[in-house]
Structure 1
Amino acid sequence: MVFFDNSNKTAADSVYTREVQKYLAEKDNKKHVIMVTSFSKFLNQSFGVETQYTNQIDLILSRMQDDGYEILDVTHTTLQGQGIFGSKEGFHSLITYK
């Protein structure tokens, strides 16, 4: 499972660098939001940690904090039947930050 964890983190790091960073607001002490979309792992049928989402959103939050942003809140919505085969859940994570 470590391979998948590392793969998820690498993908999230790439998304942060290519997409998230350029949409982060200037540090002006005001509240801002950014929405990040992601999917569940392919076989998400068991009770346990949703490792793909956890690894990816945690890396995004960590990178934002490393860049000097304060995370104020994270909320999400879930959409069923997503992905090419309709077997994944889609997550929209709204990150409120300063």
Structure 2
Amino acid sequence: MFKKSQLNSAQTIYEKEVIPNLKPHDGAIHVIMINSFSKFVNQNFGVETKYTNQLGYIIDRMQYEGYQVLDVKFDSLKGQGISGTMEGFHTLIMYK
């Protein structure tokens, strides 16, 4: 159930925010920054499925649409969100 919701959210973000900000295929290197949050309860050791599902979807779509992903850089900030219990993620995708 959560995975479907996460993928629907990623699809909406991709179509409404990522596509309008992608540069045309011109051989130059470009970047796009994606801001996101961890799962609400992120206290366990394991895969961060929300981030994995959502960013994975965006990166997959970019590649399926002919963009070459060159690098993915990431950082996080603790104590984010309304409750202050989430991590904020910044993901920089370098692409051609």
Which AA in structure 1 matches 2:45?
A: F
Which AA in structure 2 matches 1:74?
A: V
1:55 aligned partner: 53
Structure 2: tracts of 5 or more residues without a match:
none
Which AA in structure 2 matches 1:81?
A: G
Indicate whether 1:79 and 2:77 are aligned. yes
Superposed CA RMSD: 0.4
Q: Deviations over 1:33-69 (max 9, x none)?
A: 0000000000000000000000000000011111110
Partner Cα distance (1:5, 1:79) in 2: 23
- Aligned-pair identity in percent equals 53
Instruction: Report the alpha carbon displacement of residue 6 of structure 1 after superposing the two structures with TM.
Output: 0.9
The correspondence for 1:89, drawn from 87, 90, 96, is 87
Which AA in structure 2 matches 1:31?
A: I
Give the TM-score normalised by structure 2: 0.98
Structure 1: tracts of 5 or more residues without a match:
none
Which AA in structure 1 matches 2:46?
A: G
The runs of 4+ residues in structure 1 deviating greater than 4 Å are: none
2:9 aligned partner: 11
Q: Deviations over 1:59-82 (max 9, x none)?
A: 000111111100000011100000
Which AA in structure 2 matches 1:83?
A: G
Partner Cα distance (1:66, 1:28) in 2: 17
